């Protein structure tokens, strides 16, 4: 697993438990000689149709956020790198469709995770995050 350690990714330091959690997510796990792990998930479609969303296809992929972090975490089915120009164009489209807002004291934001791709631009410390999630 590139980017962050497997212990962090699977919230355990037990390899057997990490394998169980990976399988529950539909991943195959390959332990590497250096103690790292390669996880294989997919291939997956770039979009999904979610129940209750009128059959619309929605972007459901982290290729833009994961690309270029150390070594790319996401590859094509054959293991080759995703072309940088494709990832760049996806990032441009995301930026073009972005809505920016400025936080104000006491403000709250409610997002539907199935309707919006959300993220943030880099910020300077101190950063305080207060989050509540609901189903």
pLDDT greater than 80 at residue 77? no
Rounded Cα distance, 108 and 96, in Å = 24
Tokens at residue 110, please?
């409610």
Report pLDDT for 128.
Answer: 79
Q: Where are the domains of the chain?
A: 1-41, 47-135
Tell which residue, 13, 43, 8, has the closest CA to residue 28.
43
pLDDT greater than 90 at residue 17? yes
Burial 63-101 (b: 16+ CB within 10 A, else e): bbebbeeeebbbbeeeeeebeeeebeebeeeeeeeeeee
Residues 6+ apart with CB under 8 A from 40: 27, 28, 29, 30
Percent of the chain with pLDDT over 90: 10
pLDDT greater than 70 at residue 60? no
Report pLDDT for 1.
Answer: 40
pLDDT band at 135 (very low <50, low <70, confident <90, very high): low
Predicted confidence (pLDDT) per residue in 79-104, tens digit: 788 888 988 888 888 888 888 888 88
Give the CA dihedral 27, 32, 36, 42, nearest 10 degrees: -20
pTM of the model: 0.54
- For 20-36, the three-class secondary structure string (H helix, E strand, C coil) is HHHHHCCCEEEECCCCC
């Amino acid at each position: 697993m590139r980017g962050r350690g497997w212990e962090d990714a699977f919230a355990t330091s037990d390899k057997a438990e990490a394998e169980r959690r990976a399988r529950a997510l539909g991943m195959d796990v390959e332990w590497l000689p250096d103690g790292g792990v390669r996880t294989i998930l997919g291939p997956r479609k770039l979009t999904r149709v979610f129940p209750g969303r009128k059959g619309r296809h929605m972007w459901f992929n982290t290729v833009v956020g994961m690309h270029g972090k150390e070594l790319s975490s996401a590859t094509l089915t054959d293991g080759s790198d995703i072309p940088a120009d494709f990832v760049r164009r996806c990032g441009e489209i995301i930026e073009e469709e972005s809505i920016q807002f400025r936080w104000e004291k006491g403000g709250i934001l409610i997002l539907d995770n199935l309707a919006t791709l959300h993220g943030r631009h880099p910020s300077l410390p101190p950063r305080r995050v207060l989050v509540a999630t609901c189903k």
